[in-house]
Chain A
């Protein structure tokens, strides 16, 4: 994780603020409060928030949501695979919580330029907490991305606390017998 210059810092505070707004949107919708924005040339070109409860698909993380929307948009405008790859290599992601191992791999696959995140993800984090996929090197080819954590992390953590207070409507109910396992 590199250190940031002063104006870079201001920059990232602004974008993280927007990511936090996305996280609040998720919270209002009874979703796990994680949000993100994707930035190209100092402009927000994509955003997303967690939708795992609504979709009943635990992979619908904020990052995946925003990536899918962008991919759809770019393909609709006729961009090819290599052009899309070129696009991603100029994009930065601001996300309120350290990307999990799944999302960190996805970001590496897409070849995103940099990731800025809020709080760490001790259990599933793919950018240093559990695995360090942002430093990937496969067959001597660098597949990582620049990664900086801890930006406005207390705000992100507060949202998680609020979420627990309101309760997760989709948390497993342990009392319920699961038929398939017996």
Chain B
């Protein structure tokens, strides 16, 4: 198998994609069509079939033919059965000859599906807004993406201990092609952090030499994925009690943490870097300017009687209105990024819901992962968090398929 970058859509391609529903239709005279459709759409609107066009234009024996959907069908054998009375009146009035036809039950989720649907009956198709982001990798982009994915997998490999592997996360600035932060899972008490942190410290080596867990998972030389935090978020409590035979361990606190999945650790590192690189706090002047404008927006907000309540995601949408025109550009702002806006993340495994949501909060632009997470994955396997409409930030998700023998 070769390397491939596959877009993971925010909406599942529906298993019902080829499903159809039967409708009662009829050919109509072209000059009657407009009037008829207007009356039908009031009389019997096609609920749940908004993607289906009411009229079909086809050519039969060189002659243009117009067909109109009258209503949903009740009985496939008998087009007239169960038809509402006012529709029956229309049939008489226009001298129609109803027949049964089938139309696609759900809207197409891709252009290909749409083309296929339209063979039977025309439908409308609304491509996702971020289509530009998808499948437009030139050779240089692809090379960079595969390069960073390889790095993430290398990080996973280098975190090996006793055949245990861990998830890895690398946050990348794609335009500068530099790594902003990288981390492995730190859920467990010993190995991962030493390898992934900038330097290996001797304490960890000590712990390792205690023989903890040695050979526990060495079965047939196979790698064990039990410790990949996102794959198995609930397993932390079953890990062996920490035997503190080494005195050094008493001195260090926080040696394990059930929530320190690679993505969360990487976000923490990126935030720390942000704090160091952009030390200057917001100037008081700037703040006063801003609060002045925000009070305007908050009144707008109140009128809408809707308050965004996410903790890190104070809704900026309404603030935009006031800032765009009024706020003088403050030089400091031009260099300091807002959280991880514009940055990509590379993960060896598809993230769990905790990590996937954390990446939304931190405003990551694109997520790349190599292996799916069948029991707990939030970006394609169990959920598709990036397709949740309610959220105010959406990243694009790609799976990078890699040769299976990469480990």
Instruction: Indicate which residue in A71, A171, A179 contacts B254 across the interface (CB closer than 8 Å).
Output: A71
If A56-B274, A173-B333, A180-B176 touch, does A166 touch B291 (CB 8 Å cutoff)? yes
* Shortest Cβ distance from A33 into B: residue: B311
Most chain A beta carbons < 10 A, residue from B290, B293, B329: B290
Q: How many whole Å from A177's CB to the nearest CB in chain B?
A: 7
- Residues of A with C-beta under 8 A to B9: none
Closest 4 CB pairs of A and B: A180-B342, A167-B294, A58-B312, A85-B237
- Residues of A with C-beta under 8 A to B255: 75
Judge whether A8 is part of the interface by a CB distance below 8 angstroms: no
Judge whether A174 is part of the interface by a CB distance below 8 angstroms: yes
- Residues of B with C-beta under 8 A to A62: 311
A59–B388 CB distance below 8 A: no
Q: How many whole Å from B379's CB to the nearest CB in chain A?
A: 12
Judge whether A25 is part of the interface by a CB distance below 8 angstroms: no
Could you say which of A13-21, A39-47, A115-123 contacts chain B? A115-123
If A75-B256, A160-B309, A173-B327 touch, does A133 touch B390 (CB 8 Å cutoff)? no
Cβ contacts A to B, 11 pairs, < 8 Å = A52-B312, A56-B275, A57-B271, A58-B312, A68-B257, A81-B239, A84-B237, A133-B353, A160-B308, A167-B290, A181-B341
Judge whether A128 is part of the interface by a CB distance below 8 angstroms: no
- Residues of A with C-beta under 8 A to B390: 122-124, 129-130
Bound CA span A171–B315, Å: 8
B354–A121 CB distance below 8 A: no
* Shortest Cβ distance from B253 into A: residue: A76
Judge whether B129 is part of the interface by a CB distance below 8 angstroms: no
Interface size class of B (residues with CB under 8 A): 35 or more
Instruction: Indicate which residue in B271, B287, B307, B310 contacts A100 across the interface (CB closer than 8 Å).
Output: B310
Bound CA span A139–B233, Å: 13
A111–B237 CB distance below 8 A: yes
* 8 A Cβ contacts from B222-237 to A: 233-234, 236-237
A177–B358 CB distance below 8 A: no
Judge whether B365 is part of the interface by a CB distance below 8 angstroms: yes
Which of B's residues lie within 8 Å of A, judged by CB? 173-176, 233-234, 236-242, 244, 253-259, 264, 267-268, 271, 274-275, 282, 287, 290-291, 293-295, 297-298, 301-302, 306-314, 316, 319-320, 323-324, 327, 329-330, 333-335, 337-339, 341-343, 352-358, 360-363, 365, 375-376, 383, 385, 388, 390-392
Judge whether A60 is part of the interface by a CB distance below 8 angstroms: yes
Apart from A56-B271, A168-B314, what are 14 other A-B pairs with CB-CB below 8 Å? A57-B362, A59-B358, A68-B257, A100-B311, A105-B353, A110-B258, A124-B360, A139-B375, A161-B307, A165-B294, A167-B290, A172-B341, A180-B173, A180-B174
Judge whether A61 is part of the interface by a CB distance below 8 angstroms: yes
* 8 A Cβ contacts from A56-85 to B: 56-62, 64, 67-68, 71-72, 75-76, 78, 80-85
Judge whether A113 is part of the interface by a CB distance below 8 angstroms: no
Residue tally, chain A, CB below 8 Å to B = 77
* Shortest Cβ distance from B250 into A: residue: A78
A105–B175 CB distance below 8 A: no
Q: How many whole Å from A182's CB to the nearest CB in chain B?
A: 6
If A56-B274, A109-B259 touch, does A97 touch B309 (CB 8 Å cutoff)? yes
- Residues of A with C-beta under 8 A to B256: 75, 81
Bound CA span A181–B376, Å: 30
- Residues of A with C-beta under 8 A to B233: 105, 109
Instruction: Indicate which residue in A130, A166, A172, A180 contacts B175 across the interface (CB closer than 8 Å).
Output: A180
Instruction: Indicate which residue in A59, A108, A109, A179 contacts B312 across the interface (CB closer than 8 Å).
Output: A59
B354–A106 CB distance below 8 A: yes
A81–B241 CB distance below 8 A: yes
Instruction: Indicate which residue in B293, B297, B339, B375 contacts A56 across the interface (CB closer than 8 Å).
Output: B339
A123–B392 CB distance below 8 A: yes
B307–A58 CB distance below 8 A: no
A180–B337 CB distance below 8 A: yes
B271–A124 CB distance below 8 A: no
Judge whether A5 is part of the interface by a CB distance below 8 angstroms: no
Bound CA span A126–B391, Å: 12
If A102-B354, A123-B390 touch, does A57 touch B307 (CB 8 Å cutoff)? no
A171–B314 CB distance below 8 A: yes
- Residues of B with C-beta under 8 A to A139: 375
* Shortest Cβ distance from A165 into B: residue: B298
A71–B257 CB distance below 8 A: yes
* Shortest Cβ distance from B229 into A: residue: A109
- Residues of A with C-beta under 8 A to B308: 123, 160
- Residues of B with C-beta under 8 A to A68: 257
Instruction: Indicate which residue in A71, A102, A157 contacts B307 across the interface (CB closer than 8 Å).
Output: A157
Bound CA span A123–B153, Å: 33
* Shortest Cβ distance from A124 into B: residue: B310
A109–B313 CB distance below 8 A: no
B311–A179 CB distance below 8 A: no
A143–B392 CB distance below 8 A: no
* Shortest Cβ distance from B300 into A: residue: A164
Instruction: Indicate which residue in A59, A85, A167 contacts B264 across the interface (CB closer than 8 Å).
Output: A59
Most chain A beta carbons < 10 A, residue from B287, B310, B341, B358: B310
Q: How many whole Å from A51's CB to the nearest CB in chain B?
A: 9
* Shortest Cβ distance from B340 into A: residue: A58
B297–A164 CB distance below 8 A: yes
A64–B259 CB distance below 8 A: yes
Instruction: Indicate which residue in A50, A59, A60, A109 contacts B236 across the interface (CB closer than 8 Å).
Output: A109
